[in-house]
């Protein structure tokens, strides 16, 4: 009883001190809902379900159409290019730039954020998956090296999913968790509904193009926020290059190297000094264009989530992200 009363008092204090991206006449509940019946450690205590949707919302930057920036040039060489750019001050829960955050987008491999979230919520990272002949034969798009009979931990497969952006790993994890890719897609859409992502629909666990597979940059921001609640995600999301151990079909312990798809981290494009890349995810298809979401911190410790969607080329993607960091992530 004492814990419940303490929790209610905390809710009241937070309610009257609420500040951030929300406009005064925007509904408190917004379009985000807690995924379960308790408030997580964000507020330092367990409180019953009555308040869960409200407090979960406080750790998101709620974005409306009225808050979008109209006068913004996404691509100076092609002003008609329909792209998205946004910057959210995560430390102060404030929208700094929102350009077409609520527009329909194809997420490409950003889809793997939702795949990772479901695995993180439902699986033990130390459990092991044995690679089937069907998974070993998958070669479409970006893939990790997987051989029939390999025994690999879920943690290592999450690394392949998030660092290498491996499509075959997305299918392997989906089939392990749900029994089939189709059943996993149902889980993805159910989770999207729980999170209040009313403009998102998934058709696969990896992001290969499908006209019925779409989202908005804001919805994917919500998913990324959920992912960063898990230490396992934080660990893999920030990797540049590493290795993992697995057991091959002969029973021998082997090692494989994996390397990030984030070209900033590989040193192929420069980003401003004083910025630390804490994590992120890339995504690219012909229909989605070049996409990147990043979680960064400046030297003062302020944290930011940034996104660029539907850039025309890889070079333009990283040039735009550099521009956003330079313009919005410093005092």
Residue 78 is assigned to a structural domain of this protein: no
Angle between helices 112-122 and 181-194 (to 10 degrees): 90
Q: How far is CA 272 from CA 23, 73, 111, in A?
A: 32, 21, 28
SS3 124: coil
- Answer yes or no: do 114 and 254 share one domain: yes
- Answer yes or no: do 114 and 171 share one domain: yes
Residue 182 is assigned to a structural domain of this protein: yes
- Answer yes or no: do 115 and 249 share one domain: yes
Residue 9 is assigned to a structural domain of this protein: yes
- Answer yes or no: do 51 and 167 share one domain: no
Which pair of structure tokens corresponds to residue 68? 């979008």
The pTM score is: 0.84
Residue 154 is assigned to a structural domain of this protein: yes
Residue 149 is assigned to a structural domain of this protein: yes
Percent helix / strand / coil, the chain, rounded to 5: 35, 20, 45
- Answer yes or no: do 116 and 54 share one domain: no
Helical spans, DSSP H, in 17-110? 52-57
Q: Quick one: pLDDT at residue 47?
A: 28
Minimal CA–CA distance to 245: which of 258, 235, 255? 255
- Answer yes or no: do 44 and 120 share one domain: no
pLDDT < 50 regions, the chain: 2-6, 9-20, 22-58
Alpha-carbon distance of 121 to 33, in angstroms, equals: 16
- Answer yes or no: do 250 and 141 share one domain: yes
Q: Quick one: pLDDT at residue 15?
A: 45
Q: Quick one: pLDDT at residue 17?
A: 44
Kindly report the CATH number assigned to the domain that includes residue 242. Answer: 3.40.710.10
Residue 328 is assigned to a structural domain of this protein: no
- Answer yes or no: do 169 and 242 share one domain: yes
- Answer yes or no: do 122 and 50 share one domain: no
206 lies in which domain range? 108-214+230-259
Alpha-carbon distance of 274 to 278, in angstroms, equals: 13
Residue 290 is assigned to a structural domain of this protein: no
Q: Quick one: pLDDT at residue 62?
A: 85
Specify whether the CB–CB gap between 176 and 152 falls below 8 A: no
- Answer yes or no: do 247 and 117 share one domain: yes
Q: Quick one: pLDDT at residue 55?
A: 34
Residue 40 is assigned to a structural domain of this protein: yes
Q: How many CB atoms lie within 10 A of CB 124?
A: 9
Beta bridge partners of 242: 258
Q: Quick one: pLDDT at residue 37?
A: 29
For the chain, the domain total comes to: 2
- Answer yes or no: do 19 and 121 share one domain: no
Percent of the chain with pLDDT over 70: 82
- Answer yes or no: do 246 and 128 share one domain: yes
| pLDDT tens by residue, 247-296 | 999 999 999 999 999 999 999 999 999 999 999 999 999 999 999 999 99
| pLDDT tens by residue, 292-330 | 999 999 999 999 999 999 999 999 999 999 999 999 999
């Amino acid at each position: 009883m004492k814990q419940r009363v303490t929790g209610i008092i905390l809710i009241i204090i937070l309610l009257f001190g609420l500040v951030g991206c929300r406009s005064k006449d925007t509904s408190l509940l917004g379009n985000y809902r807690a995924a379960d019946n308790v408030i997580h450690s964000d507020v330092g205590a367990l409180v019953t379900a009555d308040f869960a949707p409200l407090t979960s919302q406080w750790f998101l930057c709620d974005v409306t159409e009225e808050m979008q920036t109209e006068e913004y040039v996404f691509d100076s060489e092609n002003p008609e290019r329909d792209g998205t750019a946004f910057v959210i001050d995560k430390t102060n829960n404030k929208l700094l730039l929102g350009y077409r955050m609520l527009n329909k987008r194809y997420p490409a491999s950003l889809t793997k954020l939702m795949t990772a979230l479901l695995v993180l919520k439902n699986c033990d990272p130390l459990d092991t998956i044995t690679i089937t002949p069907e998974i070993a034969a998958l070669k479409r798009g970006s893939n990790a090296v997987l051989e029939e009979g390999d025994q690999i931990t879920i943690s290592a497969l999450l690394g392949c999913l998030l660092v290498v952006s491996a499509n075959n790993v997305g299918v392997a994890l989906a089939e392990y968790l749900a029994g089939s890719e189709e059943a996993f897609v149902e889980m993805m859409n159910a989770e999207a509904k729980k999170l209040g992502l009313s403009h998102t629909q998934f058709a696969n666990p990896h992001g290969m193009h499908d006209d019925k597979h779409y989202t908005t940059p804001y919805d994917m921001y919500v998913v990324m926020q959920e992912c960063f609640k898990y230490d396992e995600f934080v660990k893999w999301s920030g990797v540049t290059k590493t290795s993992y151990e697995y057991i091959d079909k002969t029973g021998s312990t082997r090692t494989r190297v994996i390397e990030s798809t984030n070209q900033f981290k590989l040193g192929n494009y420069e980003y401003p000094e004083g910025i630390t890349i804490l994590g992120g995810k890339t995504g690219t298809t012909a229909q989605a264009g070049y996409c990147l979401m990043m979680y960064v911190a400046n030297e003062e410790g302020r944290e930011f989530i940034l996104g660029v969607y539907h850039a025309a080329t890889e070079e333009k993607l990283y040039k735009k992200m550099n521009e956003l960091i330079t313009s919005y992530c410093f005092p």
